[in-house]
Amino acid sequence: MTSAPTHAKGLEGVIAGETEICNVEQTSLIYRGYEIADLAANATFEEVAYLLLVGSKPNADELAKFKADLVAERSLPAPVVEFLKTSGDLVNNQSAVPMDILRTAVSIQAHVDPDCQDNAPEANLRKAKRLLAKIPTIIGHMQNSIEGKDFVAPRDDLSHSANLLYMMTGSEPTPEAEKVMDVSLVLYAEHDYNASTFTSRVITGTLADMHGGVTGAIAALKGKLHGGANEAAMDMLSDIRNDIGPENDTAKITEWMHKAFAEKRKLMGFGHRVYKNGDHRAPILHALGRKAAEARGEEFVKLFDLGETVQKIMEDEKTIYPNVDFPCGMTYFTMGIPVPQYTPIFVASRITGWAAHIMEQHANNRLIRPRVAYTGPALRNWND
């Protein structure tokens, strides 16, 4: 009797390709040679987007041209606008969530993109810039539709981050809010062969187009074990708050956690397939979010205090550390962003990493087609 060949469940530890875009190590996260803490402290999101898409740090002229190209592409074509007018009803009737709306809007955008069927490097870069520019407008219009408000047109004079917040809320963010959003987008931009990026490479490795790869990637990012964790982490903290009441009673928080451990529940925003000693992005965002909470007032400081107690119990009792989605949930809540938009905002950043990987795949393509160990019934006859 032959046994099935061994395999790594969930492809853990499998090297499934090569990339020049990003290096994820236990002790560092590097985008094209630059460490994430360096980028978070010193680069804007637009600079990081250029770095990922083009491959090098932009000089002043290159950056100005890149930003102008993005600004020129912010508005949406009519079919996407028409669809977004219906999005509020779809979400408010609870038949769709914002990630579903965003996925469909990107798919409709494919129908009207003049380069859709062209996988050449120049066409791919044009498509990447269009998607990068338009996704915040999709999110903004969708949020306006959900709230029954008129769409807020994009502003040419605002950064990617400020414009995103402006279109969602109708008011220009403070420089502090813009900075927090910008850093969160820098942290979210790229992460090698995570599930959504791998999905996009599998799709485009068939020589399918970028919009198809991005649509699939959005579908993959939605799940709670991946990008959906930033919403799920905030929902979990809200559940804890509902259960323990308004005060941060450590005994009650510990009791809540022990019950979750006993029920073998996964705590959202904790753990990582690669980082076993902590995610370097998490403390960067936590510090910024906590500062924003201190500026906003007691309710928000109490949320961070609660999160820190949960984190301490996880670390002390399970040696499991928060990933970037844990502080992201608390930070976006502090900024007043509706929870169901947290993962779409992740997309407004990760589109850069996906597009860079899709371009890398198309530039040096081989179909991605692994084998699987068969564990089904032995051979049998239909007429037996």
Ligand X SMILES: CC(C)(COP(=O)(O)OP(=O)(O)OC[C@H]1O[C@@H](n2cnc3c(N)ncnc32)[C@H](O)[C@@H]1OP(=O)(O)O)[C@@H](O)C(=O)NCCC(=O)NCCS
Rule CB under 6 A: say whether 296 interacts with ligand X. Answer: no
Q: Which stretch binds ligand X (CB under 6 A): 21-29, 140-148, 242-250, 263-271?
A: 263-271
Rule CB under 6 A: say whether 113 interacts with ligand X. Answer: no
Output the smallest distance, CB 229 to ligand X, in A.
4
Output the smallest distance, CB 11 to ligand X, in A.
10
User: Between 10 and 33, whose beta carbon lies closer to ligand X?
Assistant: 10
Instruction: Reply yes or no on whether 7 is catalytic.
Output: no
Query: Annotated catalytic residue: which of 272, 280, 305, 357?
Result: 272
Tell me which amino acid residue 83 is.
F
Size of the site for ligand X (CB under 6 A): 15
Which positions from 222 to 241 touch ligand X by CB under 6 A, shown as an x/- string?
--xx---x------------
Output the smallest distance, CB 218 to ligand X, in A.
16
User: Between 66 and 332, whose beta carbon lies closer to ligand X?
Assistant: 332
Output the smallest distance, CB 47 to ligand X, in A.
24
Output the smallest distance, CB 10 to ligand X, in A.
5
By beta carbon distance, the residue nearest ligand X is 271
Output the smallest distance, CB 275 to ligand X, in A.
8
Q: Which stretch binds ligand X (CB under 6 A): 47-55, 123-131, 260-268, 280-288?
A: 260-268
User: Between 266 and 291, whose beta carbon lies closer to ligand X?
Assistant: 266
> Which one of residues 193, 270, 321, 354 is an interface residue with ligand X (CB under 6 A)?
270
User: Between 266 and 296, whose beta carbon lies closer to ligand X?
Assistant: 266
* 269: CB partners within 8 A, 6+ apart: 229, 230, 232, 233, 236, 322, 323, 325, 326, 328, 329
Output the smallest distance, CB 276 to ligand X, in A.
9
Helix (H) or strand (E) holding 99: helix 98-112
Q: What is the largest CA-CA distance in the chain?
A: 75
Q: Count each helix (H run) and each strand (E run) in the chain, helices first.
A: 17, 3
Report the Cα–Cα distance between both ends of the chain, in Å, rounded: 23
The runs of H, that is alpha helices, within 44-97 are 45-54, 60-72, 78-85, 87-92
User: Between 142 and 236, whose beta carbon lies closer to ligand X?
Assistant: 236
SS3 category, 219: helix
CB-facing half-sphere around the CA of 107: CA atoms within 13 A: 13
Counting beta carbons within 10 angstroms of the beta carbon of residue 377, is it exposed (0 to 12), middle (13 to 18) or buried (19 or more)? Answer: exposed
List 322's β-bridge partners, or say none.
270
Q: Which stretch binds ligand X (CB under 6 A): 64-72, 110-118, 172-180, 266-274?
A: 266-274
The runs of H, that is alpha helices, within 266-379 are 281-296, 298-318, 325-334, 342-363
Instruction: Reply yes or no on whether 272 is catalytic.
Output: yes
Lateral strand order in the sheet of 34-35? 22-24, 29-31, 34-35
User: Between 17 and 278, whose beta carbon lies closer to ligand X?
Assistant: 278
User: Between 108 and 217, whose beta carbon lies closer to ligand X?
Assistant: 217
Rule CB under 6 A: say whether 193 interacts with ligand X. Answer: no
Q: Which stretch binds ligand X (CB under 6 A): 64-72, 248-256, 270-278, 346-354?
A: 270-278
User: Between 270 and 332, whose beta carbon lies closer to ligand X?
Assistant: 270
Instruction: Reply yes or no on whether 226 is catalytic.
Output: yes
> Rg of the Cα trace of the chain?
22
Rule CB under 6 A: say whether 252 interacts with ligand X. Answer: no
Cβ atoms of residues 62 and 94 within 8 Å = no
What does DSSP say about strands 29-31 and 22-24: parallel, antiparallel, or unpaired? antiparallel
Can you spell out the DSSP letters for 171-217? SPPPHHHHHHHHHHHHHHS--TT-HHHHHHHHHHTTT--HHHHHHHH
Backbone angles phi, psi at 81, to 5 degrees: -60, -45
Query: Annotated catalytic residue: which of 226, 286, 316, 357?
Result: 226
Which positions from 315 to 354 touch ligand X by CB under 6 A, shown as an x/- string?
-----x--x-x-----------------------------
Active site residues: 226, 272, 325
Write out the residues near ligand X by the rule CB under 6 A.
Answer: 10, 224-225, 229, 266-273, 320, 323, 325
